[in-house]
Amino acid sequence: MTEQHTQTTAQRDAVALFETLTGHAPDGLWSAPGRVNLIGEHTDYNEGFVLPFAIPHRTVAVVGRRDDGRIRVASTFAPDAVEVGVDELDSLFPALRQAQGPKAGAEGTGTGAEAQAEAEAQGPTAEAQKPTVPEWAAYPLGVAWALQQAGATASGVDIAIASDVPVGAGLSSSAAIEGAAASALNDIWGAGLDRVALARIGRRAENEAVGAPTGIMDQMASMLGEPDAAIFLDCRSLEALPVVVGAAPAGLAILVMDTQVQHAHSTGGYRERRESCERGAAVMGVPSLRDVSVTDLGRAEELMDDVTFRRVRHIVTENQRVLDTVRVLREQGARGIGDLLVASHASMRDDFEISVPELDTAVEAALAAGAIGARMTGGGFGGAAIALIEEDSVDAVSDAVATAFAERGFAAPHLFTVVPSAGAQRDA
């Protein structure tokens, strides 16, 4: 019922694609992982707290230099390569950057990391349009553009991409592409940026090249992942601390239940939630919902309409759940966090309203089969849920979830276990 993961297939496929594309061997292989968010959903763009970890599933970028000033990207999940000139990068995404309006001018008020931080702080707008290249290509080309904007001297490269991170499952397949491409180009172009700076490059690419109004959690998790640790990230300061999860030593496993219902951050539901959060912060007179505490919710309820209040309540209580989860992991270990996972799912289902029947079914079936805790993970509107279960019950819980899906007429879920894993790296 479940599968054991290896990453060699993506490496082999990416090298084969590169050699078919170019007729010669590459200069190197880089990879970056997807992620599971243990807890802390939609808190990242509210400058709150998150607790993700990198997973073994990775995206591989195989890269070779070329001397004609052209960038060519190819992928195993698209039929045609896309090629542009280095001097064309700035014109690839005009609709998106024009949609920023006057705020986009912030990009010109600083250089390098300063300009990147200013542009990032402005955030995307709801009017941002689709990129002028295929969306899959906008990720690596957006990374190239963002690196160039941050001061890197861009030169010609061929990039071949393969991945075993499930797409549309809420496991950050996009951040994995960004992390692999950013790591590769950072080395090839000699940009010398650290991992946090590369995470910000990835986020800028996703916001301004792809048009998805995401926070920075996914990119930070992909860049900073560590074996057997989640990353406790303060999304305001970007301070990141590893927190031992300790599931395996406690005899536990983390089961991913991919519903096969695909989601997309660049579509309306995600934007609407973000806009509700911004309205709520404005009503409360604070820069972001990070500055609203649980004790402030009574006043918030008096000031807001019901929908906005429930969106705010999710963010505020989810931030507290992240803090509580970190404390419990440190004091009690993984067995103590089950109720927090369950409460998080209920909040996303009822207050933030980003669950779907398949996600609820996965969570309910896993809990009924004995899971210690379960919740949807990722941006919502589809994707995956996770369950913290006894290691010796993986098959039984998987069977229960699959049976529940079949009884409701849903497509069969994709079920697999994950462990916290290493972040982006050069593989060869």
Condensed to tens digits (0 to 9), the pLDDT of residues 327-367 reads: 999 999 999 999 999 999 999 999 999 999 999 999 999 99
Structural contact between residues 289 and 281, judged by C-beta atoms closer than 8 angstroms: yes
Reported confidence tier of residue 5, pLDDT bands at 50, 70, 90: very low
Condensed to tens digits (0 to 9), the pLDDT of residues 355-410 reads: 999 999 999 999 999 999 999 998 899 999 999 999 999 999 999 999 999 999 99
Domain co-membership, 296 together with 227: no
Question: How confident is the model at residue 268, as a pLDDT?
Answer: 72
Q: State yes or no: 191 annotated in a binding site.
A: no
Q: State yes or no: 44 annotated in a binding site.
A: yes
Q: State yes or no: 288 annotated in a binding site.
A: no
Residues of the domain holding 304: 252-418
218 is catalytic: yes
Domain co-membership, 43 together with 155: yes
Question: How confident is the model at residue 8, as a pLDDT?
Answer: 73
Q: What is the CATH number of the domain that holds 290?
A: 3.30.70.890
Structural contact between residues 321 and 40, judged by C-beta atoms closer than 8 angstroms: yes
Domain co-membership, 138 together with 81: yes
Mean pLDDT, the chain, rounded, equals 90
Catalytic residue among 164, 218, 258, 351: 218
Question: How confident is the model at residue 108, as a pLDDT?
Answer: 29
Cα-Cα-Cα-Cα torsion 182, 187, 188, 190, nearest 10 degrees, comes to 110
| pLDDT > 80? residue 118 | no
Q: State yes or no: 345 annotated in a binding site.
A: no
DSSP bridge pairs for 36? 53
Domain co-membership, 217 together with 350: no
Work out the angle between the directed axes of helices 112-122 and 195-204 (0-180°, nearest 10): 50
Lowest mean pLDDT among 53-62, 94-103, 317-326, 395-404: 94-103
Domain co-membership, 233 together with 346: no
Domain co-membership, 282 together with 192: no
| pLDDT > 80? residue 317 | yes
Condensed to tens digits (0 to 9), the pLDDT of residues 16-69 reads: 999 999 999 999 999 999 999 999 999 999 999 999 999 999 999 999 999 999
Q: What is the CATH number of the domain that holds 241?
A: 3.30.230.10
Domain termination residue (choose one: 245, 275, 291): 245
Domain co-membership, 277 together with 346: yes
Distinct helix (H) and strand (E) counts, the chain = 13, 12
Question: How confident is the model at residue 3, as a pLDDT?
Answer: 43
Reported confidence tier of residue 281, pLDDT bands at 50, 70, 90: very high
Into how many domains does the chain fold? 2
Q: State yes or no: 270 annotated in a binding site.
A: yes
| pLDDT > 80? residue 265 | no
